[in-house]
Structure 1
Amino acid sequence: MTYFGFLAVFVVLPILGLWAVALWDTRRGIGVPAHLRSWHAHWIVLAHVIVAVLYTTPWDNYLVATRVWWYAPELVTGLLIGYVPIEEYTFFVLMTLLTGSWLLLVVRHKPEQGPAPRQPVRFRQLSTLLLFGLWLIFVAILIFGWRPGTYMALLFAWALPPIMLQTAFGADILWRYRRALLLTIVPMTLYLSAADKLAISSGTWTINPEQTVNVLLLGRLPIEEFLFFFIVNVLIAFGMTLVMSVESKARAGRYVVALRNLLSRKQAVEIGSE
């Protein structure tokens, strides 16, 4: 199976199906709930596509350059940007569109918010602290050079910093949308992992067994690949939910005002000391 063939069957067709459902929902008057309309949903998806490409490109190039994974040359067009074929960059874009479109489907039909944590500030702090501890573990694996843990450590060392930013800003907001997030992250992770298994089985790409822990799911899928789709879906779903949330927009506005006031006071002190 060629890489573009894989994308056409397993990613493009589902996206078109989700867009058709979105159009049908629009005609029936079913839209994103008011509490998730801080910005237009389509612009939010586009912004996440841009971020996904910019943030993933250097990391993925490093993976290919160090032979964590490789592609079959005869199954790609041969057009490379850095070490990575153009098909891979296309996957960055399409996966973000797929998960983003699925999340929008979920919130259109399951718009309910759950209760907030009793101590939202403490909840944000503890969530971020736990993720930071996990990040340190994977950084240590890279520092000490445990080769079988390379792919997993690179994955979490790359993905956890932006997730920590998300939880530090709005873990309590994300908790309120936990049902929609669960209904997005779990199905998308399972679906893309199953598709990935087929691509690996057909030789479209290969994961280096020397740089994985050699735990295979369904007999062929490295657990690192499952975790990759899980963590990327977390990034997309968390990010989109926070940007869509009216509560997030109000909180960000308060932070901006507080920062401006702080800078104004600092400037006043500097002028007074002259």
Structure 2
Amino acid sequence: MTYFGVLATFILPPIVLMGVLVPLREWRALLRGESAQIRWEPFVILGIHVLMALFYTTPWDNYLVATGVWWYDENLVTGITLGYVPIEEYTFFIVQTIMTGLWTIGLMRTVTPNRESIPVRPRLRLGLTAAVVIGWAVSTAVLLSGWVPGTYLTLILSWALIPVFVQIVFGGDILVANWRLLVLSIGVPTLYLWVVDYLAINSGTWTIDPIQTTGVKVGVLPLEEMVFFLMTNVLIGFGMTLMLSPVAKRRAQALVARFKNTEDGHAVAK
């Protein structure tokens, strides 16, 4: 199966379905000419996540292909590349983010709304932050040690845990309070993408280097690929939840106000 064939068969249909159903109230308001009823904020935030996914993943994924961590069948892609990576891979960054983001918005609107208020728990945030820092430090140490079978796994963790650190520092307690939402928003797309990845690897669309992986697999699906899709969906799920959280918005406004007051104080002192 061609790379675009994988995306068209497995990723495009859920996006089209959710693209109709999730913003249904917005579509209805548009048809009635009631623009005041339209709330596009979640979809603007989703667009921001798409841009962040492209910006943050592009250099990392180019490094993976350049160093042979994974490769693609040249007969199953268009041949258009940006750097070392085929255009199909960049398309995957975009459509995965859209799929998981729409799913998360849909869950917020129908099943598990984002919590309006939570108890302030700075110690929880501190503990979670420490865990992420330790995880990143261990992963990076193993990566730098040159242990070849751990290459792909540690590249994933050392890359993904940096933005997770930022998310946890700012809103780890908010994320814990919304754990039901996150289990569904992250878990369901991850399981689905594991199946898609399994089928693509099995058909030879792309290949993971067995030398730079631990060898732990579920059928033909390497552990590293499972961790990759889990971590990328964590980034999307955490980010969407925080940026749409009323608690996070109030916290961000308070931080901005505190920063402005500090700047004003410095200006007066001068």
Q: How does 1:1-274 map to 2 (within 5 A)?
A: 1-24=1-24, 40-112=41-113, 120-217=121-218, 219-269=219-269, 271=270
Residue 116 (structure 1) shift: 7.3
The answer to whether the Cα contact below 8 Å between 2:26 and 2:39 also exists between their aligned partners in 1 is no
**Identity percentage over the alignment?**
45
Give the aligned partner of residue 33 of structure 1: none
User: For residues 234 and 94 of structure 2, what CA distance do their matches in structure 1 show?
Assistant: 16
User: For residues 199 and 24 of structure 1, what CA distance do their matches in structure 2 show?
Assistant: 32
SS of the residue corresponding to residue 71 of structure 2 reads strand
Residue 100 (structure 1) shift: 0.3
Output one character per residue of 1:33-79: Cα deviation in whole Å (capped at 9) or x when no partner: xxxx9971110100000000000000000000000000100100000
User: For residues 15 and 59 of structure 1, what CA distance do their matches in structure 2 show?
Assistant: 25
The answer to whether the Cα contact below 8 Å between 1:116 and 1:172 also exists between their aligned partners in 2 is no
Q: CA RMSD in A?
A: 2.0
User: For residues 140 and 104 of structure 1, what CA distance do their matches in structure 2 show?
Assistant: 37
Output one character per residue of 1:117-137: Cα deviation in whole Å (capped at 9) or x when no partner: 765111111111100000000
SS of the residue corresponding to residue 211 of structure 1 reads coil
Query: Which stretch shows the higher mean deviation, 92-101 or 102-111?
Result: 102-111
User: For residues 39 and 135 of structure 1, what CA distance do their matches in structure 2 show?
Assistant: 35
Query: Which stretch shows the higher mean deviation, 222-231 or 260-269?
Result: 260-269
The answer to whether the Cα contact below 8 Å between 2:126 and 2:169 also exists between their aligned partners in 1 is yes
Letter in structure 2 aligned against 1:71: Y
The answer to whether the Cα contact below 8 Å between 1:120 and 1:172 also exists between their aligned partners in 2 is yes
User: For residues 112 and 217 of structure 2, what CA distance do their matches in structure 1 show?
Assistant: 36
The answer to whether the Cα contact below 8 Å between 1:38 and 1:243 also exists between their aligned partners in 2 is no
User: For residues 232 and 196 of structure 1, what CA distance do their matches in structure 2 show?
Assistant: 14
Residue 23 (structure 1) shift: 4.7
The answer to whether the Cα contact below 8 Å between 2:118 and 2:247 also exists between their aligned partners in 1 is no
Residue 115 (structure 1) shift: 9.8
User: For residues 39 and 242 of structure 1, what CA distance do their matches in structure 2 show?
Assistant: 17
Residue 18 (structure 1) shift: 1.2
TM-score when scaled to structure 1?
Answer: 0.90
SS of the residue corresponding to residue 158 of structure 2 reads helix
Letter in structure 2 aligned against 1:244: L
The answer to whether the Cα contact below 8 Å between 1:142 and 1:154 also exists between their aligned partners in 2 is yes
The answer to whether the Cα contact below 8 Å between 2:117 and 2:246 also exists between their aligned partners in 1 is no
Query: Which stretch shows the higher mean deviation, 74-83 or 176-185?
Result: 176-185
Residue 20 (structure 1) shift: 2.4
User: For residues 113 and 263 of structure 2, what CA distance do their matches in structure 1 show?
Assistant: 39
- Change in Cα spacing, 1:28 to 1:38, as seen in structure 2 (3 Å) is closer
User: For residues 113 and 2 of structure 2, what CA distance do their matches in structure 1 show?
Assistant: 41
User: For residues 249 and 85 of structure 2, what CA distance do their matches in structure 1 show?
Assistant: 36
Residue 26 (structure 1) shift: 5.5
- Change in Cα spacing, 1:38 to 1:133, as seen in structure 2 (3 Å) is farther
SS of the residue corresponding to residue 210 of structure 1 reads coil
Residue 258 (structure 1) shift: 1.0
Structure 1's unaligned 5+ residue stretches are 30-36
The answer to whether the Cα contact below 8 Å between 2:197 and 2:221 also exists between their aligned partners in 1 is yes
